Chains A and B, each alone.
Chain A
Amino acid sequence: MGENGFWAKLYKGLTKTRESLADKLSSLFGGAGELDDDFFEELEMILISADIGAVTTERIIEALRDEIKKEKMKTADEAREALVRIITEMMSTSEPYEPKKPTVILIVGVNGVGKTTVIGKLGNLYKSEGLSVMFAAGDTFRAAAVEQLGIWAERVGAPCVKHQEGSDSAAVIFDAVRSAKAKKTDVLICDTAGRLHNKHNLMEELRKINSVIEKEYPEADRQVWLALDATTGQNAVAQAKAFAAVSGINGIVLNKMDGTAKGGIVISICNEMEIPVRYIGVGEGIDDIRPFDATEFCRAMIKTA
């Protein structure tokens, strides 16, 4: 399944909802349409509906107006290309990720964004690239989370370091780091419990987990990735800021992109915090993960392949 197959799948996802903005967009950017007030009003609706946010949308439209004026654009076609450029520019920090040897990836995020599933899919991806992979069942809080990751480990064929439910998450991670070092594992991927970013104690626990990795595995390439649900609205910015504050974030995995949500909030996060989006998740299947590509993301968002 190549890139084409994936984007085709994404487009298919988009077209599934007839009344969704995809159709409105194709009419909006239907070639030689005029760049009048209606055009901008409709564009605003499309961008806001994609969860880009009112303030960022305003900024994008302003930039587009400037560009149209400067380049003396006349048609919607030209404007569309300019729009893709503007948004892609805002996400310029995003680049494909290549794991080094060894790498340790800590997956963090609020409840229900799909952290465990992402770990399963990432593990499979790296394994298929010929790397050795290990999981750490750091979600010791949610009932049966350890079992859930265990099932993924079996599917992927990767070892999984686990303690009992309710045990200390940092201790699990500590053991996993030791084990990964001893076995010379290429990529260690650590699960953590979902936590709302405004819960002080849980966030402090995460700080501790992160410092365990920092201390015990300085030679590894340390990645901390925030898993985001594409369905999330403006609160995602607050999430990114809070997680960055306690554990640092150097990547985002945008999950659940197979629905009708567009995940536009990552534009603000990328732009304001300069955190790259690494991957997007497009389903619950083991292959449903792809490297992020800003231009393609924009095109899919406004459906102009």
Chain B
Amino acid sequence: MAFEGLSQKLQNIFKKLTGRGKLSENDIKEAMREVRIALLEADVNYTIVKDFIKKVTERAIGAEILQSLTPGQQVIKIVNEELTALMGSTQSKLTVSPKPPTIILLCGLQGAGKTTMAAKLAGYLQKQGKKPLLVGCDIYRPAAIDQLKVLASQLQVPVFERGTADPVETAYLSVDYAIHKLADTVIVDTAGRLHIDEQMMQEIVAIRDKIKPTEILLTIDAMTGQDAVNVAKAFNDSIGIDGVIVTKLDGDTRGGAALSVKAVTGKPIKFAGTGEKLSDIEPFHPDRMASRILGMGDVLTLIEKAQSEFDEKSAAELEKKLQSNRFDLNDFLDQFKQIRKMGGIGSIMGMMGVDKSKMTSEEDAEKQMKRTEAIIQSMTMKERHNPQILDGSRRKRIAAGSGTTVTDVNRLINQFEQSKKMMKMFRNKKKGFKMPF
């Protein structure tokens, strides 16, 4: 995929920066160009991408960038947060009619997967103790009603159909049938239709007016491209949808259409079709979708991992020390050990946006770390607690003791002082301690 390497690209852009600090407008522009391509290649609609990039750019140039550990990481976080906000963060449930039956009307283009989804939905509701009735209103596609009947019989859910008779009437009659049969949920499968086919759109409006559905759900193929906005808008404008079902999410598409549809209709995505089997239906998790679209789940996982693996107890201790301003070189040493715990300095550095090409190899990085450890271990406890007392002669002694040079010792002390400053900045941010790298 073209944007498989979005995180890598972002890191390359930021490698000119030393790994922390402020972002210039130019840095952000370059980064946003990559984010834009990633979103477009994920099929998010052109106009939505444009607005999104504008918003993220404004936010990124703002003050909060100061609190970032590395610019790349911060940008990824902002992009992800904004995408999640666009997708919506809470899961949406089906509305249940106070007076049974609850009526669900499915609509969408040809081949979106309505019939399969109707059956999956019936199975899902059945498991929750409901008594669904499936209604076959697709009189156009050959054998569509047969398909619904076969699927229904696998679930042992009843089907109401009248062959190729008027689908509006069929839908209408099905509600009485449901009441008679004590079914509490009616799921109406309709023919696939083009949103620009006026006659067919009138038909579904007529069905809606006859049965007054509790939920009108637009079924949309996760692989849909730029046209998703036109489709969603047209269906929403003409019949007024209540929610969306995204199908075929088990493919490898980034699924930007989901975002487009959400953005253009403002309606929640309620379910996702995730496989060939009738049980392959899941409530939709909008937050997960954001990172899928971005194609950077891996990086986000790393960020989460860094936050959670950092031992909570020592984090709390550190917090205390920071508050009383007692963070010293011993604590600094501890942190190096924490990094080891997270497995491989290379991946952490990569995640932090450290330039991998500068870091000749992972072994080199390990060596660097060992050297740092040796330097600190060559200090007396007093020196570790009070680095201020490290004068020239002490530094010379430490360099000799650790087999390094005075320059190395100086660099370490600078690093420590900078980390201390960074930590103070985070002190006010309660949630999530971050590595002072």
Contacts and interface: CB of A to CB of B under 8 A. Distances in A.
A148 to B, nearest CB: 4
Contacts of A55: 2, 37, 41
A284 B224 contact: no
A196 B195 CA distance: 25
- Most chain B CB within 10 A, of A150, A199, A234, A284, is at A234
A53 interface: yes
A117 to B, nearest CB: 8
B196 A233 contact: no
A232 B196 contact: no
Nearest to B230: A260
Contacts of A110: 223, 248, 251
A167 B311 CA distance: 56
A173 B296 CA distance: 42
B251 A196 contact: yes
Contacts of B248: 110-112, 196
- Most chain B CB within 10 A, of A53, A259, A265, is at A259
Interface stretch (A43-51, A63-71, A123-131, A205-213): A43-51
B111 A114 contact: yes
Contacts of B144: 144, 148
Contacts of B47: 45
- Most chain A CB within 10 A, of B37, B151, B230, B247, is at B230
A261 to B, nearest CB: 4
Interface in B26-64: 36-37, 40-43, 45-47
B143 A233 contact: no
Given A114-B110, A148-B142, A234-B41, A259 B196 contact: yes
Contacts of A34: none
A259 B1 contact: no
Nearest to A45: B46
A148 B257 contact: no
B143 A259 contact: no
A9 interface: no
Given A50-B226, A111-B248, A151-B142, A142 B147 contact: yes
A186 interface: no
A54 B36 contact: yes
A17 interface: yes
A31 to B, nearest CB: 25
A49 B227 CA distance: 7
B150 A144 contact: yes
Given A143-B151, A144-B146, A284-B140, A261 B225 contact: yes
A79 to B, nearest CB: 20
Nearest to B111: A112
B37 A233 contact: no
B112 A112 contact: yes
A168 B194 CA distance: 34
B99 interface: no
Interface string B1-30: 110000000000000000000000000000
- Most chain A CB within 10 A, of B42, B43, B149, is at B43
A51 B227 contact: yes
Contact of A54 (B37, B110, B150, B196): B37
A21 B369 CA distance: 57
A261 B46 contact: no
Interface string B96-118: 00000000000001111100000
A101 interface: no
B143 A148 contact: yes
B215 interface: no
Interface string A224-236: 0000010111111
Interface string B214-241: 0000000101111110110000000000
Nearest to B147: A144
A191 interface: no
Nearest to B45: A49
Contacts of B110: 112, 114, 256, 284
A39 to B, nearest CB: 16
Contact of B223 (A114, A233, A262): A233
Nearest to B37: A54
26 contacts: A13-B196, A45-B46, A49-B46, A50-B226, A54-B37, A55-B41, A110-B251, A111-B248, A143-B150, A144-B144, A144-B147, A165-B150, A196-B250, A198-B250, A198-B251, A198-B252, A231-B224, A234-B225, A234-B253, A235-B43, A235-B252, A235-B254, A238-B253, A258-B194, A259-B231, A260-B195
Interface of B: 1-2, 36-37, 40-43, 45-47, 109-113, 140-144, 146-151, 194-196, 221, 223-228, 230-231, 247-248, 250-254, 256-257, 276
Interface of A: 13, 16-17, 20, 45, 48-51, 53-55, 110-114, 141-145, 147-148, 150-152, 165, 196-199, 229, 231-236, 238, 256, 258-262, 265, 284
- In the A-B complex, the 4 residue pairs with the smallest Cβ-Cβ separation, listed nearest first, are A233-B225, A112-B111, A233-B43, A143-B150
